[in-house]
Amino acid sequence: DLGRANADENNVDDIARARPNQAVVDYVLSVADRWLGEFDIDGFRLDVPNEVPFWFWKLFNARCKSLKPDCYLVGELWGNAGRWISPDCFDATMNYKYFRDPVMDFFGKGAIGAAAFDQRLGPGRFEYPPQSVAVMMNLIDSHDTIRFLTSTRDVRRLMLAAMFSMSYVGMPTIWYGDEVGMLGGKDPDCRRPFEWRFEGDPRKVALREFYGTITRFRRDHEVMRRGEFTTLAAEGSAYAFARTLGQEVVVAVFNAGPAPATLLLAGESIRALLPVAAPTIARVVVGPDSFPRAAAGPLATGGAVDLGGETVQISLPGLSAVWLQN
């Protein structure tokens, strides 16, 4: 029984100390052999890995990477996973602490302001290796959590969280059904069957189309996946940041509060992120008009904003957001 081999099991590096059941070790490693070698899967999500001796995951990693060097190993760890994130253990973790929890508190509950939100996100970018930060499993919902929409009862808040996940650093993860506004309480209610008849509800169809728009944009623009992240402003309920790659910039601005909000962004700060010759006229990729009950004004989808001025004024209705791409 690997889970009871040693009272200090999660600090054991010497296999001999833990007296493992070699037959169990060999069997689990053979599972990796089969799925990676025979079926060429992309990787494994590893449930409660902290309940298995740490040394075992080093063996598992070595076996998996020998079969498929780019296979993805992600551990279900709810806190800081610093000791687990390394080339010889896991590539990433389910990012509850540095993504899901602050996203719920800011976008979902409105329990914290933008400055606190930015502070809680920061350690997730700085405490792990950059190659792991880039592939962190950023989730809004999972099989273990009350669904976001059940907690908030406002589809605009879910849309804000989804739009943020598609523009933030890491790997956005959609728990099936969120894209059509499924509800669900505590496990097992959050694991309801998918609502296959969602097409009969125009609101669910519209939400799915919104998810399609933001996921396609992320897929089609490398800056959203690999661009440098820079916080531009965090005031009240309004939060703005930039993703930059080469001559391309995407500025994302969010208003997580119910009242309108205005941010004045320093054009100099945005220009400093780009080469001198980079264009500064940005089109509105997704505007406030994508959100229910939000008037678009000058930020209507398809419009344009000059990011090159001394100041860039962004005014958003309550519970809405905008993406600007040069």
pLDDT at position 229 is 97
pLDDT at position 267 is 87
Rounded to whole angstroms, how far apart are CA atoms 298 and 289?
10
Mean pLDDT throughout 222-244?
A: 96
Give 5's pLDDT tier (boundaries 50, 70, 90): very low
Residue predicted with more confidence, 49 or 18? 49
SS3 40: coil
Rounded to whole angstroms, how far apart are CA atoms 155 and 95?
22
Please, what is the average pLDDT of the chain?
91
pLDDT at position 11 is 42
Q: Which CATH architecture has domain 2-225?
A: Alpha-Beta Barrel (3.20)
Q: Can the peptide bond before residue 275 be classed as cis, meaning omega within 30 degrees of 0?
A: no
Residue-range domain boundaries for the chain: 2-225, 227-325
Which of 6-20, 191-205, 259-273, 280-294 is the least confident region? 6-20
For 270-298, the DSSP string reads HHTTS-TTS--EEEEEE-GGGSTT---GG
Q: State yes or no: pLDDT of 55 exceeds 90.
A: no
Give 53's pLDDT tier (boundaries 50, 70, 90): confident
Q: State yes or no: pLDDT of 7 exceeds 90.
A: no
Instruction: Quick: pLDDT tens for 119-131.
Output: 999 999 999 999 9
Instruction: Quick: pLDDT tens for 61-118.
Output: 999 999 999 999 999 999 999 889 999 999 999 999 999 999 999 999 999 999 999 9
Give 275's pLDDT tier (boundaries 50, 70, 90): confident
> Can you name the CATH fold of 227-325?
Immunoglobulin-like (2.60.40)
User: CB atoms < 10 A from the CB of 78, how many?
Assistant: 15
pLDDT at position 308 is 83
Q: State yes or no: pLDDT of 8 exceeds 60.
A: no
Contact between 65 and 29 (Cβ < 8 Å): no
Mean pLDDT throughout 162-175?
A: 98
- Which residues are designated catalytic? 47, 76
pLDDT at position 12 is 40
Which of 204, 97, 89, 95 lies closest to 158 in space, CA to CA?
A: 204
Say whether 227-325 and 2-225 share the same fold.
no
Contact between 178 and 100 (Cβ < 8 Å): no
Backbone angles phi, psi at 85, to 5 degrees: -90, 100
Q: State yes or no: pLDDT of 14 exceeds 60.
A: no
pLDDT at position 208 is 97
Q: State yes or no: pLDDT of 155 exceeds 70.
A: yes
Give 15's pLDDT tier (boundaries 50, 70, 90): very low
